[in-house]
């Protein structure tokens, strides 16, 4: 029997997650971002959380392992992103000083500056939420190509605001998972007045725990307000606020209810979280905006269900971000 595979064989084999080399979504692995339109990146960093919950650095490997099983076509958009634009796996950001959060954040920024210089839009899998700070130091602000030298708006799905300036550092990490949403505004990478934090329900340590975020100018739609407004009104609020700004989407998996995302770093079990339908509706509602990239963060594979359901959910959220960018590329004729 010949060892040559037919196209039908290739199609079947490519969806078997246990077979072959596990790149993200079976994409080719390249080093030069100029060779793609959408760059998929792993950011295996966990020192920005500063707690014992440090297995978030295993997130990228976990998603690579199962992402061959992710959806290949986006039915609502009538889109096959893989055959619409060039999508490649750029590998992982290297962290030789993995226990030094500040050096890791600068390595992230350096890595993404090369992606930005190529005009390529990244979709990343972390890693704890401090990675967003490193990424947006490269993608937003006066030296950024993707943002046109402008600050960026963010759509931030999370149980927490990550703007906790009430404490100067988080167990020694300064540009931490608890601080990125504040210092990016202070350093003129993010425009909070055009940004939305959605799904907030985290455990309050003080009655003014969201005050810093409000003072910075973020629109906060906590979980109760989300249910009062409904998904359509929330989409309208986000779109009106973002307007023509370059938009970055960051999704902390703890925004989801813990029954569908148990493998996260900071479980919030006392209040029901968002469900897939909620996040998908809002994210798809960003269709047509200038989305310059996105990330999915805070996956804890060692706390996940044995069927890897949180890893699968991570891949699904990455897929939605990929499709938003690919759809925009298709609309623009790129």
Residue 180 lies in a domain: yes
Give CA–CA dist 163/171, Å, rounded. Answer: 15
Give CA–CA dist 151/248, Å, rounded. Answer: 11
Neighbouring residues of 89: CB distance < 8 A, sequence distance ≥ 6: 23, 24, 25, 27, 28, 29, 30, 40, 41, 64
Give CA–CA dist 17/7, Å, rounded. Answer: 18
Give CA–CA dist 180/136, Å, rounded. Answer: 9
Give CA–CA dist 277/285, Å, rounded. Answer: 12
Residue in the block written with tokens 């339908």: 277
Residues 226-284: tens digit of each pLDDT: 999 999 999 999 999 999 999 999 999 999 999 999 999 888 988 999 999 999 999 99
Provide the domain limits for residue 99: 19-332
Residue 27 lies in a domain: yes
Number of domains forming the structure of the chain: 1
Residue 132 lies in a domain: yes
Q: What is the pTM of this model?
A: 0.95
Cα distances (Å, whole numbers) of residue 231 to 23, 145, 157, 319: 34, 32, 14, 20
**DSSP line for 181-207:** HHHHHHTTSB-GGG-EEEEE-PPPSST
Residue 12 lies in a domain: no
Average model confidence (pLDDT) for the chain? Answer: 93
Nearest to 261 by CA among 199, 308, 204: 308
Helix then strand then coil, in percent of the chain rounded to 5, is: 40, 15, 45
Q: 65: phi > 0 → left, psi -120 to 50 → alpha, else beta; which? A: alpha
Please tell me the total number of residues recorded for the chain in this structure: 334
- CATH number, domain of 48, equals 3.40.800.10
Residues 151-207: tens digit of each pLDDT: 999 999 999 999 988 887 777 788 988 899 999 999 999 999 999 999 999 877 778
Q: Which residue has the higher pLDDT, 331 or 125?
A: 125
């Amino acid at each position: 029997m010949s060892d040559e595979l037919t196209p039908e064989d290739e199609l079947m084999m490519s969806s078997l997650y246990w077979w072959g080399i596990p790149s993200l979504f079976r994409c080719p692995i390249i080093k030069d971002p100029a060779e793609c339109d959408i760059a998929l990146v792993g950011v295996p960093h966990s020192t920005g959380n500063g707690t014992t919950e440090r297995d978030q650095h295993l997130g990228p490997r976990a998603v690579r392992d199962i992402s061959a099983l992710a959806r290949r076509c986006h039915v609502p958009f009538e889109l096959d992103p893989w055959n619409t634009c060039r999508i490649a796996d750029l590998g992982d950001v290297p962290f030789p000083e993995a226990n030094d959060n500040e050096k890791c954040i600068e390595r992230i920024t350096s890595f993404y500056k090369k992606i930005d210089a190529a005009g390529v839009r990244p979709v990343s899998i972390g890693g704890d939420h401090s990675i967003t700070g490193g990424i947006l130091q490269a993608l937003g602000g006066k030296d950024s190509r993707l943002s046109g030298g402008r600050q960026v708006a963010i759509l931030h799905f999370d149980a927490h605001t990550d703007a906790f300036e009430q404490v100067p550092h988080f167990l020694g990490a300064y540009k931490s998972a608890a601080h990125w949403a504040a210092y990016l505004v202070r350093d003129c990478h993010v425009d909070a007045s055009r940004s939305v934090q959605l799904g907030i329900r985290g455990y309050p340590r003080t009655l003014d725990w969201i005050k810093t975020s409000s003072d910075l100018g973020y629109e906060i739609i906590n979980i109760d307000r989300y249910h009062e407004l409904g998904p359509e009104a929330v989409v309208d609020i986000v779109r009106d606020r973002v307007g023509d700004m370059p938009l970055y989407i960051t999704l902390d998996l703890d925004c989801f209810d813990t029954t569908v995302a148990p493998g996260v770093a900071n479980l919030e079990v006392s209040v029901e979280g968002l469900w897939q339908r909620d996040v998908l509706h809002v994210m798809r509602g960003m269709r047509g905006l200038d989305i310059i990239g996105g990330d999915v963060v805070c996956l804890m594979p060692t706390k996940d269900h044995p069927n890897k359901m949180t890893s699968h959910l991570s891949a699904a959220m990455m897929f939605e971000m990929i499709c938003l960018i690919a759809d925009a590329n298709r609309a623009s004729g790129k």
